[in-house]
């Protein structure tokens, strides 16, 4: 078995298109979402990829595109759905990444119901049509400008932790693009890569200017290219749809790669290993086709997903992702129960850390007080250092000092307040020792402040240490 790492991205894609994951009805949408996020949090998911741009319409208040009509109810008069999701994710210690579907705009019938504010409804020169479907044309220079404007709006007005670019590619019939004559197949492929790279570069640079800690990730085709391990059979990122991930990494314009690996057997394992070779030091988090276990889909056995997760850990992938949320929330075929008892059994920190940037790692936490009332104990602390965006992690152990490198000791992460409340009714381990660390927006973690051990010299707590009763690994909400 692969040991669970302390730092690991555990992402879930929460789909709003057609209400596939949420919302399920026109009313009671906040309550529906709260239930979904509670389930994901209980499963120790730490990143929610929230679909906030669907098909030329959005799930937030935008100056450029219309609000999706599913979110026009009275309960959204005081806030927009994206802002609500971000707040609720943060309350549960999870990151929220804005999932932006880049190129598809839907069909003519859908566009006829949109306002003139939509780029598609306005008949922009950036649009190309394939059959009944409309797309932004990656070969147009204005497409990079337009998408960059949309992403900049999201990042500047919402406290997102990341931006996730989906369908950042040419359409499925990619061989027809670009349409300019005089190019052979290799030249067309090179042109496609240049166009998509220009968009990724523009978006990444803009995000860095606004909020440099925001992670920019891309959903790529599941197979990068044919290798000595396996043949992609023509459906690949590099020579196909224009996703030159190696170039993105060399230029430093991508922070995380999420290949959509909705396959199994020979279409999964050799290409997963190839992604590790390609990405190097840039985190790679495969989006696993969890929905494929559904009876109406491929009817996979749950063991296939577990096997893929174990393999991803063995070859050094930096996390796991699940598409889609509803399969987990519904516990289809018992998948949530099995994951919760295995690879998601203990929490993990979602960021790998970047010591070149940030300040949390240089800060200092000092435990300042506690109050025990009945079967609950309240822990408090102070933080010295730049506090913008700092969050805290609480650890507990029956051994002093608490080993903060062991993820089994993580009680809760993503805490924003300088206090925490526990119920220790069911703490079978009787963990009497604790530690608190601070993390900046880049994931850099401070040295721990320990609590729970009495000073052997004077019988009083030493600086940064307090005496505690056994507590339970549980946040009182």
User: In the Cβ-directed half-sphere of 456, how many Cα atoms lie within 13 Å?
Assistant: 0
Tens-digit pLDDT profile for residues 227-250: 878 888 878 999 999 999 999 999
Tens-digit pLDDT profile for residues 64-73: 999 999 998 9
Q: Are 163 and 215 in contact (CB under 8 A)?
A: yes
pTM of the model: 0.92
The pairing of beta strand 319-322 with beta strand 391-397: unpaired
User: In the Cβ-directed half-sphere of 317, how many Cα atoms lie within 13 Å?
Assistant: 27
Give the per-residue pLDDT at 353. Answer: 74
Topology classification of domain 9-340: TIM Barrel (3.20.20)
Element at 151 (helix H, strand E):
helix 141-157
E strand intervals along 168-295? 215-221, 256-261, 287-288
Q: Give the percent of the chain with pLDDT over 90.
A: 72
Give the per-residue pLDDT at 121. Answer: 62
Query: Which residue spans of the chain are classified as CATH 2.60.40.10?
Result: 360-451
Give the per-residue pLDDT at 359. Answer: 55
Give the per-residue pLDDT at 358. Answer: 61
Q: DSSP per residue over 30-64, as a string?
A: HHHHHHHHHHHHHTT--EEEEEEE-SS-BSS--SS
**What's the average model confidence in pLDDT over 3-18?**
95
Query: Which residue spans of the chain are classified as CATH 3.20.20.80?
Result: 9-340
Task: Give the C-alpha separation, 146 to 197, whole Å.
Answer: 15
Q: How many CB atoms lie within 10 A of CB 73?
A: 14
**What's the average model confidence in pLDDT over 407-424?**
90
Give the pair of three-digit tokens for residue 368.
């300042």
What CATH class has 360-451?
A: mainly beta
Give the pair of three-digit tokens for residue 384.
């010295």
Say which residues have a Cβ less than 8 Å from residue 11's Cβ, sequence separation at least 6: 45, 46, 47, 48, 49, 97, 258, 285, 287, 319, 320, 321, 322
Tens-digit pLDDT profile for residues 112-153: 667 667 786 666 789 998 888 999 999 999 999 999 999 999
Q: Are 65 and 57 in contact (CB under 8 A)?
A: yes
Give the pair of three-digit tokens for residue 400.
């002093």
Q: Average pLDDT, whole number, for the chain?
A: 89
Q: How would you label 389-414 residue by residue, b for 16+ Cβ within 10 Å and e otherwise?
A: bbbbbbbbbeeeebebeebbbbbbbb
């Amino acid at each position: 078995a692969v040991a669970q790492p302390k730092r690991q991205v555990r992402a879930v894609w929460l789909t709003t298109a057609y209400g596939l994951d949420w919302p399920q009805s026109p009313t009671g949408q906040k309550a529906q979402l709260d239930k979904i996020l509670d389930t994901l949090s209980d499963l120790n998911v730490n990143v929610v990829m929230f679909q906030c741009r669907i098909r030329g319409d959005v799930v937030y208040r935008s100056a450029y595109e219309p609000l999706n009509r599913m979110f026009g109810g009275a309960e959204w008069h005081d806030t927009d759905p994206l802002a609500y999701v971000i707040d609720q994710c943060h309350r549960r210690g999870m990151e929220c990444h804005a999932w932006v579907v880049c190129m598809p705009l839907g069909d003519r019938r859908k566009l006829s119901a949109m306002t003139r504010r939509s780029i598609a409804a306005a008949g922009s020169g950036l649009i190309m049509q394939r059959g009944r479907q409309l797309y932004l044309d990656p070969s147009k220079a204005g497409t990079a400008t337009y998408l960059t404007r949309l992403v900049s709006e999201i990042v500047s007005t919402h406290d997102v932790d990341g931006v996730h670019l989906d369908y950042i590619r040419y359409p499925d019939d990619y061989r027809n693009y670009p349409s300019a004559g005089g190019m052979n197949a290799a030249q067309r492929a090179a042109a496609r890569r240049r166009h998509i790279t220009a968009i990724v570069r523009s978006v990444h640079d803009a995000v860095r200017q606004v909020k440099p800690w925001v992670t920019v990730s891309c959903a790529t085709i599941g197979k990068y290219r044919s290798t000595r391990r396996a043949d992609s059979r023509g459906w690949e990122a590099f020579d196909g749809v224009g996703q030159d991930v190696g170039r993105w990494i060399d230029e430093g314009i991508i922070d995380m790669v999420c290949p959509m690996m909705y396959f199994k057997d020979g279409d999964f394992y050799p290409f997963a290993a190839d992604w590790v070779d390609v990405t190097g030091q840039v985190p790679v988090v495969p989006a696993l086709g969890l929905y494929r276990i559904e009876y109406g889909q491929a009817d996979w056995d749950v063991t296939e997903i577990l096997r893929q997760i174990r393999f991803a850990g063995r070859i050094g992938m930096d996390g796991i992702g699940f598409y889609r949320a509803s399969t987990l929330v519904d516990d289809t075929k018992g998948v949530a129960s099995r994951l919760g008892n295995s690879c998601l059994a203990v929490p993990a920190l979602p960021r790998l850390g970047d010591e070149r940037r940030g300040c949390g790692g240089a800060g200092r936490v000092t435990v300042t007080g506690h109050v025990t009332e009945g079967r609950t104990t309240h822990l408090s602390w102070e933080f010295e250092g730049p506090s913008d965006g700092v969050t805290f992690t609480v650890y507990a152990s029956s051994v002093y000092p608490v080993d903060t490198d062991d993820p089994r000791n993580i009680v809760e992460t993503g805490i924003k307040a300088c206090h925490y409340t526990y119920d220790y009714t069911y703490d079978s381990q009787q963990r009497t020792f604790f530690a608190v660390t601070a993390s900046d927006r880049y994931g850099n973690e401070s040295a721990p402040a320990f609590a729970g051990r009495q000073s052997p010299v004077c019988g009083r707590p030493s600086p940064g240490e307090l005496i505690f009763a056994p507590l339970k690994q549980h946040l009182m909400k």
